[in-house]
Structure 1
Amino acid sequence: MSWKSIEMQVALPRTQDAGKMQDNMVKQGQHFQESLAQTQRKQEERTRKRVNEFEKTEKVKNKEQHSKNLINKKTQLEQSEEEYKMNHPYLGSQIDFNG
């Protein structure tokens, strides 16, 4: 046997091993991409839910604040009417029932 045939006997199994290793690396990369995509989908879903929940709570807060503002406006109007009645320049504050 010549040296070339002996080298070929050693070289062929190594190329097959290299092919298997390369195939495994490609599969590992695909698996990594799939898991990354799945993680991103979960993160997007959490973000979407969080935004929806935030919008719901904001609507409730806005309604509560609006109702409080209405109540405050009513009480302010009542107070201003009372002050106006008490401090009117030409209307009296006492009624004379004698007569």
Structure 2
Amino acid sequence: MSLKGVELQIALPKTFEAGKVVEQEQQHVNAGQELANVALQKQTERNRTAVLKSDKAAQINEDDPTNKKENEQQHKQKKEQKSSSDEQVQHPFKGHFIDFSG
């Protein structure tokens, strides 16, 4: 395939433009990946500190014997409230007259 002089005048500048466009797209993708990596690192750091904070709170609650008693009492109260609320719940249609005649 031979190119004439006129065809080369058009083809060469377009190849340079295409190369520039491809290079810009690659830089854009690389920049996006870097931003994603930075965001991921920040998120993992937040997750690590959040876990450490909750572990400290859990250790304090477990070591204090008065908190254990209070927790048991609260648990019993919640069970009692739940059982009493279960008794109060009415069946959605039992005991009600529903007329199915059209």
Q: Provide the TM-score with structure 2 as the length reference.
A: 0.60
- Partner Cα separation in structure 2 for residue 20 and residue 33 of structure 1: 20
Gaps of 5+ in 2: 70-102
Letter of the aligned partner of 1:55 in structure 2? D
Letter of the aligned partner of 1:30 in structure 2? N
- Partner Cα separation in structure 2 for residue 69 and residue 37 of structure 1: 43
1:40 corresponding residue in structure 2: 40
- Partner Cα separation in structure 1 for residue 29 and residue 67 of structure 2: 58
Could you list the runs of 4 or more consecutive aligned residues of structure 1 that deviate by over 6 angstroms after TM superposition? Answer: none
What is the RMSD of the two structures over their aligned residues, measured on CA atoms? Answer: 1.7
Distance 1:44 1:69, change over 3 A: closer
- Structure with greater contact order relative to length (CA < 8 Å, sep ≥ 6): 1
1:9 aligns with 2:15: no
Shift of 1:67: 3.8
Gaps of 5+ in 1: 71-99
- Partner Cα separation in structure 2 for residue 69 and residue 44 of structure 1: 33
Q: Provide the TM-score with structure 1 as the length reference.
A: 0.62
